[in-house]
């Protein structure tokens, strides 16, 4: 389902390499183929000395596997009670039914929301944090389930329950590409880095590749049949495989376009995984499932690092801050939970106006969180929620986390995280 988002989406950074691989292997597939709250003046205990709590309240943490050192180094100060206050800034009104999806452009200037009214609303976001509705896109005949901007922040792709994919030009509002090849709801959509290709995943069990720069190249379908309904899709750091969360079992697999399985993230979730996200340093994979749990995984080893408990219904989305220090999750329980990644502690829980929280994303400057979901209407209008983050988040500058080499999932072929996108092979 779904995370989508920052300067260059972690998906977009590496998905071009995935398409490079697809160029060589696609022929055979064309037919089917937080920290605890501390009292002012006191220091929080080191993460390794803390015992996991088992309750579902703010300040909790639960872990199946704990590392002796924090997963991510951080120079941020200890969190105080006053630093965990998230205030509701506004509602982005305009939809006539509840919102299902939300996305922010890599340059931080555009926000898009998709709703059950079959519309996509585009807002501009200025440097002062003010939003303005600038465009309404129509054309879908079902709820808009997923949204993504291209790396250059010039195009917006949307997938729908009506099986359709639409790509529009932000500047002109013109429709650049559309298709209805899927036979069930589209659950994930992403651009590769150049914006020439788009990949979609669906509940119909297929993953499809489209050339939107040269649509005539799509006359011969290019798709891979996974065989199980796909809940979410995410390109892997090695640039050769992608993670798939499905509705058929409780695992997440890293596969290539031939269907070969290189990694399995298994043994923790007891129900299907709904959503995936990657840390910006490419070291961590986070999964959220029907079993109400969130699991942080070490990608290099495919082993669980922490299990975050607190949601009382299935988890719908997970997304990192730009510096990887915090994680925001949404659930069918209507809760928006913010977690400290180093400690696994839930630092804040928001639950107002929304009965089902579908998706949440941070702005690149970490000043706001945007949330889509089923909300109580005021009059006849609905929309997405905008929360302000605590002042500490954008006043105290944490020491940047330096990405470390990522081991390849391909046996016998070690690799580091790609330095930049490569142009895709012409299909």
Backbone angles phi, psi at 201, to 5 degrees: -130, 150
Instruction: Read off the pLDDT of residues 200-223 as tens digits, 9 standing for 90 and up.
Output: 999 999 999 999 999 999 988 889
Residue 80 pLDDT exceeds 50:
no
Half-sphere exposure of 170 (CA within 13 A, CB side): 23
SS3 of residue 29 by DSSP:
helix
- The β-bridge partners of 197 are 211
Distance between CA atoms of 240 and 34, rounded to whole angstroms?
32
Residue 387 pLDDT exceeds 60:
yes
Backbone angles phi, psi at 15, to 5 degrees: -70, -25
Residue 269 pLDDT exceeds 50:
yes
What is the pLDDT, as a whole number, of residue 380? 65
413 contact partners, CB below 8 Å, separation of at least 6 = none
Residue 234 pLDDT exceeds 60:
yes
Instruction: Read off the pLDDT of residues 42-62 as tens digits, 9 standing for 90 and up.
Output: 333 333 333 333 333 444 444
Residue 291 pLDDT exceeds 80:
yes
Size of the chain in residues: 427
Q: Give me the residue label for tokens 């260059």.
A: 8
Burial class (CB in 10 A: 0-12, 13-18, 19+), 52: middle
Distance between CA atoms of 250 and 38, rounded to whole angstroms?
36
pLDDT band at 379 (very low <50, low <70, confident <90, very high): low
pLDDT band at 418 (very low <50, low <70, confident <90, very high): very low
Contact 319, 369 (CB under 8 A): no
Q: How far, in Å, are 297, 348, 398 from residue 326 at the CA level?
A: 15, 11, 12
Mean pLDDT of 258-275: 95
Percent of the chain past pLDDT 70, that is, above it, reads 71
Q: Report the sign of the C-alpha dihedral through residues 267, 270, 272, 278, in that order.
A: negative
Percentages of the chain per state (helix, strand, coil), in multiples of 5: 10, 40, 50
Set out the domains of the chain in order of their start, with CATH numbers. Answer: 10-33+52-395 (2.130.10.10)
Instruction: Read off the pLDDT of residues 303-354 as tens digits, 9 standing for 90 and up.
Output: 999 999 999 999 999 999 999 999 999 999 999 999 999 999 999 999 878 8
Residue 361 pLDDT exceeds 90:
yes
User: Residue 330: left if φ>0, alpha if ψ -120 to 50, beta else—which one?
Assistant: beta
Distance between CA atoms of 339 and 325, rounded to whole angstroms?
8
Q: How far, in Å, are 185, 197, 279, 332 from residue 237 at the CA level?
A: 27, 18, 10, 29
pLDDT band at 181 (very low <50, low <70, confident <90, very high): very high
Among 2-16, 71-85, 179-193, 209-223, the minimum mean pLDDT is found in: 2-16
Mean pLDDT of 282-290: 96
Residue 230 pLDDT exceeds 70:
yes
């Amino acid at each position: 389902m779904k995370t989508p988002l920052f300067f260059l989406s972690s998906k977009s950074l590496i998905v071009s390499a995935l398409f490079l691989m697809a160029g060589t292997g696609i022929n055979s597939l064309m037919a089917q183929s937080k920290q605890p709250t501390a009292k002012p003046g006191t220091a929080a205990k080191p993460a390794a000395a803390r015992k996991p709590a088992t309750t579902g309240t703010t300040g909790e943490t639960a872990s199946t596997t704990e590392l002796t050192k924090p997963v991510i180094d951080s120079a941020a100060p200890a969190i105080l009670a006053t630093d965990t206050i998230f205030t509701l800034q506004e509602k982005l009104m305009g939809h006539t039914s509840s919102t299902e999806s939300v996305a922010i452009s890599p340059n931080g200037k555009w926000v898009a929301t998709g709703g059950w009214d079959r519309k996509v609303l585009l807002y501009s976001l200025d440097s002062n944090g003010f939003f303005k509705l600038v465009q309404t896109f129509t054309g879908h005949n079902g709820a808009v389930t997923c949204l993504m901007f291209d790396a250059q922040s010039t195009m917006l792709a949307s997938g729908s329950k009506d099986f359709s994919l639409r790509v529009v030009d932000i500047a002109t509002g013109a429709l650049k590409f559309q298709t209805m090849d899927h036979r069930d709801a589209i659950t994930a959509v992403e651009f590769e880095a150049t914006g020439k290709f788009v990949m979609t995943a669906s509940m119909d069990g297929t993953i499809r590749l489209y050339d939107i720069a040269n649509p005539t190249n799509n006359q011969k379908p290019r798709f891979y049949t996974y065989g199980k309904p796909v809940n979410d899709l995410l390109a892997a750091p090695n640039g050769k495989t992608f993670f798939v969360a499905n509705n058929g079992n409780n695992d997440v697999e890293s596969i290539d376009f031939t269907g070969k399985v290189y990694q399995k993230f298994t043994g923790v979730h007891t129900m299907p995984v709904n959503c995936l996200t990657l840390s910006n340093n490419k070291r961590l994979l986070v999964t959220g499932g029907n079993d109400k749990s969130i699991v942080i995984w070490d990608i290099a080893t495919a082993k669980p690092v922490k299990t975050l408990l607190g949601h009382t219904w299935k988890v719908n989305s997970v997304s990192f801050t730009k510096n990887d220090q915090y994680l925001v999750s949404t659930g069918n329980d209507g809760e928006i939970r913010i977690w400290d990644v180093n400690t696994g502690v839930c630092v804040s829980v928001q639950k107002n106006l929304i009965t089902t929280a579908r998706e949440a994303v941070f702005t690149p400057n970490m000043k706001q969180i945007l949330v889509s979901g089923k909300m109580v209407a005021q009059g006849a209008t609905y929309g997405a929620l905008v929360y302000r983050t605590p002042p500490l988040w954008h006043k105290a500058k944490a020491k940047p986390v330096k990405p470390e080499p990522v081991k390849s999932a391909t046996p016998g072929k070690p690799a580091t995280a790609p330095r930049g996108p490569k142009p895709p092979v012409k299909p």
